[in-house]
Amino acid sequence: MINQQLLDQMTEKMVDQKHVFTAVFRVEDEKKTISVTGAAGGMTADDYYFIASVTKLYITAVVLMLMNKKQLDLETPVASYFPEGFLDGLHVLKGVDYTSQITVRHLISNTSGIPDYFFGKDSRGKSGADELLDGHDSFWTLEKTLGFVKTMTPKFRPGQKGKADYSDTNYQLLGKILEVITGTSMADIFHTYLFEPLGLKNTYAYSDPLDQKPVSFYHQKQVLNVPKYMTSITSEGGIVSTAEECMIFLKAFFNGRFFDPKDLDALKQWRFMPRPATMYFGIGLEKLWTPWFMSPGKPVRNILGFWGQTGSFAFYHQDSGLYFTGTANQVNGRGHNAVYKAILKLIKAV
């Protein structure tokens, strides 16, 4: 049985002061009989935190809304939203420039082949993450990102059969496209389309490097303080929220608050993706992969939602009807592992 005592124990166990230092974990169910939040490591249930790439699930919601309004088509070439020549040389593979063939669908499904500026390596063997994880904070504008990516080798041709590779670059481009379509900033798009309609008072796009409301996140044992960077990645990871308000959005996403729930079926075009975490990626949606030995005799399927690089998470398990939100505030993957084990344990508890 899932109750406050169980969740408190699990969250305290996650925070081992070696790999995970602060955490918050919220669980609710479809029947509204379960609604509990655990917090540990000095973090409280109401604390603000960076939801990081969980932001991409909010992007998916906006994309679906614009599609239903006929303002966006996934098959539209990406280059049509930018000044002529702006994207030239973005995707050159074996001497062929495939940039003009990249569509919005390729971006949101991570099938563009465009390298990931964050973890991808350039000709020097350097990635965007290297300077950030070393504590060198800087703004990563779209122009800076594209300049860096144009020095890298694409992973595959746009839409190449069976290919997918996680790339934050895709979402920087997608955010700019949404701004062009709506004529406003991503911060305003999130507020107008999602935060305001849901009545979210403690959720916002991080925009001020001096804003210290969000709880710190870690890389290994060090606090990673990169506020300039966090202000510059609104569309790929710049939302700040709480476990409760992230839960409000997650439930709205899967229960038809902004679009017909049937639209979700079109997102489930899964491609196996071993990086940055072993999972399946669809159209702006992730599905966790659970090996059989983690739950022998009772396969755990259809845990849908999104991970964030900071250990943040927002997932819905269809079979049990459970929803999970929160963060482990750890970039190196140990937090994700702790969260994943806790999710499996809670699913088995019901």
In the chain, how many H helices and how many E strands? 12, 15
The segments of the chain whose pLDDT lies below 50 read none
How open is the CA angle 283-244-17, to the nearest 5 degrees?
Answer: 95
> 4-55+207-349 and 63-182: same fold?
yes
Cα 297 to chain center, whole Å? 31
CA distance readout (Å), 122 to 145, 152, 153, 170? 12, 5, 8, 17
Structure tokens at 183: 């004529």
**Cβ distance 315 to 304 under 8 Å?**
yes
Give me the pLDDT at residue 44, please. 97
CA gap 292, 278 in Å, rounded = 14
Give me the pLDDT at residue 260, please. 92
Structure tokens at 43: 């973090």
Give me the half-sphere count of Cα atoms (radius 13 Å) on the Cβ side of residue 286.
26
What b/e sequence results for 160-197 when a residue is b if at least 16 CB atoms lie within 10 Å of its CB, and e otherwise? beebbbbbbbbbbbbbbbbbebbeebbbebbbebbbee
The pTM assigned to this predicted structure is 0.97
**Cβ distance 342 to 24 under 8 Å?**
no
DSSP per residue, 263-280: GGGGG---EEE-SSSSEE
CA gap 161, 284 in Å, rounded = 18
Beta strands in the chain (DSSP E): 23-29, 35-40, 49-50, 92-93, 96-97, 204-205, 218-219, 222-223, 239-241, 271-273, 279-281, 286-288, 303-307, 312-317, 322-327
Residue of 176, 169, 183, 170 whose CA lies nearest to 105: 170
Give me the pLDDT at residue 146, please. 96
CA gap 37, 244 in Å, rounded = 8
Name the residue ranges covered by the structural domains of the chain.
Answer: 4-55+207-349, 63-182
Give me the pLDDT at residue 123, please. 77
Give me the pLDDT at residue 275, please. 74
| CATH no. for 4-55+207-349 | 3.40.710.10
CA gap 252, 265 in Å, rounded = 16
Give me the pLDDT at residue 293, please. 78
Give me the pLDDT at residue 22, please. 97
Give me the pLDDT at residue 295, please. 75
Give me the pLDDT at residue 311, please. 96
| CATH no. for 63-182 | 3.40.710.10
